[in-house]
Amino acid sequence: MKKYAVNNAPLYLRVKDVLLEAIRSGEIVVDGRLLSEETLTKQFNVSRATIRSALQLLEKDGIISKRHGSGTIVNTEGLQVKIRIDEFKGFFELIRESGHTPSIGEKKLLEVQLEKKICDVLDLDNGSKGLLLQRLFWGDGKPLIYAKEYIPFSILRERPTIEEVPESIFELADSYCTDPVSYSITEISSTIADKKLKQLMELPGNETLIRLEEIHYSRVNQPLMYSDILVRDSIIRFHAVRIRK
C-alpha cells in the first residue's frame, strides 16, 4: 500500500493538498468513492482527526460529498472546475488556468489622492493618499485583464518600486503592508468599455467585460486595499461551486 509523505504544519492543510492530488490521479478512489478514513489515516501516516479536517475542507470546496450509506463520493465535475472566483488566485494563475501563457503588457505605480468612494470603503479620511497600481495582463500576447489597485500609504510598512511589485496583490500585502489579506469581498457586474479602454484592451465591437470590485480585509476585518478589475469574459470564464447544506 502506497505511503504519502506530508510536510509540516498546518498539517491538515498540507494533507488536503496531497489528498486532492491523489484524488485527481485516482490513486485513492475506487468506483467513484474515496478510500475509508481508516485507510487514508494509514496511508498518510497522520491522525484520523487530521484526515477528517482535510476531508471537511475538500467537502466545502465541492470536491467530495459524504452520503450516508454510500461513503465519500468524488464529485468529478467539481474536479474539472479550474477558475474558481471564490478562491485567492493571482492573475497569472487565472490566465494559465484559462489555457494561456501570462505576461504583463503594461504597468504603472503612481502616487495619488484617493477618490472619496475609495476612502469611504477603506474607512479612510477624505483626501488620503496612496499608491495606484495599474497593470494590463496578457495571455498569449492578447490583453485579458486590466487591474487598478489602490493601496493607502497608511497600511504600507515599506513602499515598493514598480520593479519590486509582485504579480499577486496578496503577495504584495505579505511583503509590504502592515497586515496580510485574510479575505476579500467581491462585487461582480458587467460593463462596456469606453473608447480608451477598447483601444487599450484591443476589444472588437461592443464586447462586454466582467468587472470585479474587491475590498481586501485583514484578519481583524480592517479594510486594507481596493481593486477595480476588468476581465475579458469571452476568454476567461469564472465558476463558483455551490454546496447544498
Judging by beta carbons within 10 Å of its beta carbon (0-12, 13-18, 19+), is residue 189 exposed, middle or buried?
exposed
Q: What is the pLDDT of residue 90?
A: 83
Assigned fold of 91-231: Chorismate lyase (3.40.1410)
Domain ranges of the chain: 11-80, 91-231
Q: What is the pLDDT of residue 132?
A: 98
Take residue 192 and report the three cell numbers written for it: 462596456
Three-class DSSP category at 143: strand
- pTM, two decimals, is 0.71
Alpha-carbon 83 to chain mean position: 9
The candidate with the shortest Cα–Cα distance to 91, out of 245, 231, 233, is: 231
DSSP string, 13-62: HHHHHHHHHHHHHTTTEETTEEPPHHHHHHHHTS-HHHHHHHHHHHHHTT
Q: What is the pLDDT of residue 12?
A: 83
Q: What is the pLDDT of residue 9?
A: 45
CATH of 11-80 among 3.90.1150.10, 3.30.930.10, 3.50.50.100, 1.10.10.10: 1.10.10.10
Per residue in 146-160, pLDDT (tens digit) is 999 999 999 999 999
Helix (H) or strand (E) holding 119: helix 116-121
- What does each of the 245 residues of the chain score in pLDDT, given as a tens digit? 555 555 544 788 888 888 888 888 888 888 888 999 999 999 889 999 999 998 988 887 778 888 777 788 888 766 655 556 666 678 888 888 788 899 998 899 999 999 999 999 999 999 999 999 999 999 999 999 999 999 999 999 999 999 999 988 999 999 999 999 999 999 999 998 888 999 999 988 778 899 999 999 999 999 999 999 999 988 887 776 666 66
Residue 1 half-sphere exposure toward CB, CA atoms < 13 A? 9
Q: Are 4 and 45 in contact (CB under 8 A)?
A: yes
**29-45 per-residue burial string, b: 16 or more CB within 10 A, e: under 16:** beeeebbeeeebbebbe
Distance CA 134, CA 197 (A): 13
